[in-house]
Structure 1
């Protein structure tokens, strides 16, 4: 017979207990020993976070109180408080709507929620008028210096928080709410607090603005004057490196330690992976009409290819053909095609999209609509090509990736130079996009729009749960670098999606 010694021991104890009528059992609950955390070599007394929307807690296309509370810096601050960290002041918006006014004129929209009243879930702004008035300057200083929309060079730009410059696009309304003065800089306000520890996550917007506009901007590589850049332009990598180094010089000047993070691959977020390139269903009659309408275009291309003006590969790329049934690709404008309009004005730079093209999330609002309501044949994406701003082509994706790679090389090198903790945010977000992130209860957080739990309804920014996952990796990097044993956060404590 197989014996179980631990059962025999238990039985013996039971007999002893029963044979001793005078014995009593102490039922007084035992208080668990308090857990004591240590800060290692870091000093978290005064923590200041610097960055853009990802630092501010932006979510669902807006900044609002609950989102700011669920920002990853606020999660870090809750850990730092366990080892002597002080208060973490946040420049809260006035409500949970997110909308804002400037002189009673609405300038910022409300946050999104999933509206099921239309039959299918639709991202819709919450109703109500936002009560945040931008010109009502808050009294600081504030520990969370995250400014939605900020690019790297904006953090050192005087007047970026000047209310008077907002209407002209020269200032940022979010920073205007809490800038210390009209000519203040974000980095100046941060350094003035003499932080003992900081986080810096900046650079995402330097490529994201170009990407979400469908490449409707300029790659400014080679232009070292950011004052000449447009809002959707890609920042020159040398400008980025110089600015980033200057930010770290300022933040570490008084001996502060800190943590910095690199830039994720923005093309893997739901904003670019949700709308398929081939969403068009057609019946046989419509297919015939369309192919007939494009016959002259295809024929003109073939003639010019015969003259050697375009290659056979470009002819195949540009030839437009539809088939009955599901899965027809949309027609798009591609500025990187050979310009043939000098030979024939009708041969504009259009082609059908392929799986290598990334349709921006907002393109779903235009595909299938009529350019001219009086003309039922003027269907966007079918009879009328989608404008360049609705699609990020492979050439535009390459420009984004090239800049991102250069930025990340700079960030990692400077982390070593300044002896700072480093977070591979690119790797974290890639793992969520490719494989998902397993939660403590075994569930998975993915990058699937609306249901994955990792990204909010704007398709760009994380949910509170997504921010909590990022906070875990920030804490891990800090513990590794400075010898602390901060506990991190439990992502299950944070929602995967806000409700109305």
Structure 2
């Protein structure tokens, strides 16, 4: 680094004048001049970004213009343009509402963005009233080619999959609507092929998050399994080999642990406040009901499964744990064999002849039930269902002759109805995810090192956010939802400020590998210039 210093040459002066008094010397300010920005050996002339929602700019559970403009790749491209980088085109949405349409009809699962409702994340429509998304994957797709090829929901192997952007494959769930917007007249082209068609000189590749995240967000219920390790390895190595085949340089990043993001750390295992909704008044009735079940657990040698509630402290939710031995048949059998059970059923307000039905229902409901503990992770979306009456369960109980009010009482999520697998990550499921993440990250690190690419340890960054925070300039971001500043309202994707933080980390990695000087030249972003929240009125 070149430094220009204006220094009082007092030592030389003393040869000519008397220097006996302290006042003979004047302090002169030292001025340091930062060096001019240089790209080093990096060639940013054609930059493409491959990845998923984290590189697409998705935030607040939706893809919309403002979020895309503050996407990490777009922020990087703006800095690259200062040292020879070319234009950077993104497949911008049509509005700042979020959500997707297909032929004018809302596409299931792609809703408008979340906004802050005063206490936490809320659906945009719940705050401002009805809104009308305008981004339609059939009627108004943008024209490419696109430099930002981040496709929300894409797993590693999807990036090599032909037909992933073909509208005709959507019904069979073999296509991704976000990628449909990018393929234009070549619907069967792959993400990788679109990248290579631009002859990139520089790329960023942040892939693999969805290979474990899909399983985690679904509570490990099996509907979105962790990617097979061999398939993942082949995909990552294939992507890197092709992207670098013509000499392109680049940066790769690894996969964060799910335990570091607020989607899994915001809802505690004991969210039931006895002072809310008069819950304390229900505790005696609940404990009387579960007392009969707890006696069965004791009889079966499973007393640790006992379910009790407290009227003075927060209560844990009741969950379904599929790793527990299923005691459904045993519970039903013990209850049916107990001569006092029909009396208990009558105390519930049912006729004595309902005893066998109630025994079977209790066995099925609580055969793998237990109270959640601090080792369990509840997904963020569980906050919307805990304490709410489950309509399906209510209707099922009504079909067995339960009065509607009683059916509802026995169908309260997390209290009388155990939370299903999709709402909770048990320790066993967390271990599965961590093992896969570690293995996948080893593959990513080896691929980056072998190809001479820059590398960003996103996992370490996210762990630091979760454990005290990360300071950048005058701001410290943490992993807390809403107040932490790093994560948007969906608890998974960064805020604009979080994306700026990541862009800075990518530039630092580029400096280390390619000899650029984004950091030393003062060219990193001031993350304080980026918002942590978008107004509900933004359209």
State TM-score, norm by structure 2.
0.80
CA gap 1:396/1:199 in 2 versus in 1, 3 angstroms: same
- 1:295 aligns to 2:291 (yes or no): yes
Q: What is the CA distance between 1:155 and its match in structure 2?
A: 0.6
| Aligned pair partner of 1:258 in 250, 263, 272 | 250
Query: Which residue of the partner structure matches residue 324 of structure 1?
Result: 311
Query: Which residue of the partner structure matches residue 462 of structure 1?
Result: 494
| Aligned pair partner of 2:115 in 113, 116, 139 | 113
Query: Which residue of the partner structure matches residue 377 of structure 2?
Result: 358
Q: What is the CA distance between 1:67 and its match in structure 2?
A: 0.7
| Aligned pair partner of 1:430 in 456, 460, 463 | 463
Select between 276-285 and 179-188 the one with higher mean Cα deviation: 276-285
Query: Which residue of the partner structure matches residue 136 of structure 2?
Result: 133
Distance between the aligned counterparts of 1:147 and 1:9, measured in 2? 55
Aligned length: 453
- The aligned runs of 1:174-213 (5 Å cut-off) are 174-180=178-184, 181-213=186-218
Alpha carbons 1:454, 1:463 under 8 Å: kept: yes
- 1:407 aligns to 2:412 (yes or no): no
Q: What is the CA distance between 1:455 and its match in structure 2?
A: 0.4
**What secondary structure sits across from 1:489 in the alignment?**
coil
Q: What is the CA distance between 1:45 and its match in structure 2?
A: 0.6
**What secondary structure sits across from 2:76 in the alignment?**
helix
Query: Which residue of the partner structure matches residue 149 of structure 2?
Result: 145
Alpha carbons 2:294, 2:303 under 8 Å: kept: no
Query: Which residue of the partner structure matches residue 71 of structure 2?
Result: 71
Deviations 1:314-349 (A, max 9, x none): x24312122221211110000000112233341510
Query: Which residue of the partner structure matches residue 157 of structure 1?
Result: 161
Query: Which residue of the partner structure matches residue 386 of structure 1?
Result: 419
**What secondary structure sits across from 1:198 in the alignment?**
strand
Deviations 1:6-34 (A, max 9, x none): 55999xxxxxxxxxxxxxxxxxxxxx999
Alpha carbons 1:109, 1:125 under 8 Å: kept: no
Query: Which residue of the partner structure matches residue 530 of structure 2?
Result: 494
Extract unaligned runs of 5+ from structure 1.
11-31, 218-229, 306-314
- 1:61 aligns to 2:23 (yes or no): no
Distance between the aligned counterparts of 2:199 and 2:387, measured in 1? 55
CA gap 1:8/1:367 in 2 versus in 1, 3 angstroms: closer
Distance between the aligned counterparts of 1:61 and 1:173, measured in 2? 15
Q: What is the CA distance between 1:489 and its match in structure 2?
A: 1.6
**What secondary structure sits across from 2:409 in the alignment?**
coil
Structure 1 segments (4+ residues) deviating >4 Å: 1-10, 32-35
Distance between the aligned counterparts of 2:367 and 2:459, measured in 1? 38
Query: Which residue of the partner structure matches residue 88 of structure 2?
Result: 88
CA gap 1:460/1:5 in 2 versus in 1, 3 angstroms: farther
Distance between the aligned counterparts of 1:8 and 1:351, measured in 2? 72
| CA RMSD between the two structures | 2.1
Distance between the aligned counterparts of 1:323 and 1:344, measured in 2? 24
**What secondary structure sits across from 2:164 in the alignment?**
coil
Q: What is the CA distance between 1:285 and its match in structure 2?
A: 5.0
Deviations 1:239-297 (A, max 9, x none): 11111000011101101011000101122211111111112234665322222211232
Alpha carbons 1:279, 1:328 under 8 Å: kept: yes
CA gap 1:445/1:192 in 2 versus in 1, 3 angstroms: same
Distance between the aligned counterparts of 1:6 and 1:64, measured in 2? 61
Distance between the aligned counterparts of 2:73 and 2:25, measured in 1? 48
Q: What is the CA distance between 1:48 and its match in structure 2?
A: 0.4
Distance between the aligned counterparts of 1:427 and 1:202, measured in 2? 16
Alpha carbons 1:134, 1:173 under 8 Å: kept: yes
Query: Which residue of the partner structure matches residue 440 of structure 1?
Result: 473
Extract unaligned runs of 5+ from structure 2.
1-19, 333-362, 395-403
Select between 317-326 and 358-367 the one with higher mean Cα deviation: 317-326
Query: Which residue of the partner structure matches residue 311 of structure 1?
Result: none
CA gap 1:2/1:248 in 2 versus in 1, 3 angstroms: same
Select between 273-282 and 152-161 the one with higher mean Cα deviation: 273-282
CA gap 1:298/1:193 in 2 versus in 1, 3 angstroms: same
Distance between the aligned counterparts of 2:322 and 2:291, measured in 1? 22
Alpha carbons 1:279, 1:326 under 8 Å: kept: no
